[in-house]
Chain A
Amino acid sequence: GAVVSQHPSRVICKSGTSVKIECRSLDFQATTMFWYRQFPKQSLMLMATSNEGSKATYEQGVEKDKFLINHASLTLSTLTVTSAHPEDSSFYICSARDNGVRGYTFGSGTRLTVV
């Protein structure tokens, strides 16, 4: 079945540094990827929609200069958290449409802790 590989699974970084999260579709081409953020015991909130070869579309309230999304190929989308602050600590999950019966495949998520 369709698989989305997300790395790293867990990262700790210092305030002010940048962190890159990668999502790679392993056996299908993902023209569109979605990035979600999930706070503890809460639901998934859409941050942005990433389309291959074009600029990402950000949801209202999401700072595009802080959360840089790049979707340069049909199999890879990256989310870079720039100048990270403790309030950016969260669980980030990507999802891609695989055009199969199941429709959407999720990465395994990245737990980001900013200290």
Chain B
Amino acid sequence: AQTVTQSQPEMSVQEAETVTLSCTYDTSESDYYLFWYKQPPSRQMILVIRQEAYKQQNATENRFSVNFQKAAKSFSLKISDSQLGDAAMYFCAYRSTGNTPLVFGKGTRLSVIA
């Protein structure tokens, strides 16, 4: 079974600075998808960014980018120019192909300091 590990329970960053959240995963599959979700206090799950395993190019969404290292099974999220609104719980998630569920890591709570 696939597993997702987030080794940083909590992180903090100064406003306007850059922070990187770590994620590693374990799988024997060659084709899969990786995601970062944000969960603010409202608890609504918000997709931040996704990466297809077959793509070598790292995904980017405005201030959010990933460092996808397939061989190392690593998928870190970089948040640039951090804003107060970025404060939330961040979950790394894995999904196989087909109609399969997301497998989540334990999450990293990000605080943004003004």
Q: A residues bordering B, Cβ < 8 Å?
A: 31-32, 34, 38, 42-46, 49, 51, 91, 93, 95, 97, 102-104, 106, 108-109
Contacts and interface: CB of A to CB of B under 8 A. Distances in A.
SS class, residues of chain B in contact with chain A: loop
A93 B35 CA distance: 17
Contacts, number: 48
A97 B104 contact: no
Given A31-B99, A32-B99, A44 B50 contact: no
Nearest to A35: B101
Contacts of A44: 45, 91, 102, 104
B107 A43 contact: yes
Nearest to A46: B101
Contact of B101 (A31, A38, A49, A102): A49
Given A43-B106, A44-B102, A46-B101, 15 more contacts: A34-B102, A42-B106, A42-B107, A43-B105, A43-B107, A45-B104, A46-B102, A49-B101, A51-B99, A95-B45, A95-B102, A97-B99, A103-B95, A104-B47, A104-B102
B33 interface: yes
Contacts of B107: 42-43
Interface residues of B, number: 18
B56 interface: no
B50 A106 contact: no
Interface in B24-45: 33, 35, 42-45
A contacts with B: majority SS: strand
A108 to B, nearest CB: 5
A104 B96 CA distance: 13
Contact of B45 (A42, A93, A103): A93
Contacts of A51: 99
A91 B107 CA distance: 16
- A-B pairs, top 9 by smallest CB distance, nearest first, are A106-B45, A32-B99, A34-B101, A43-B104, A43-B106, A44-B104, A46-B101, A109-B43, A108-B44
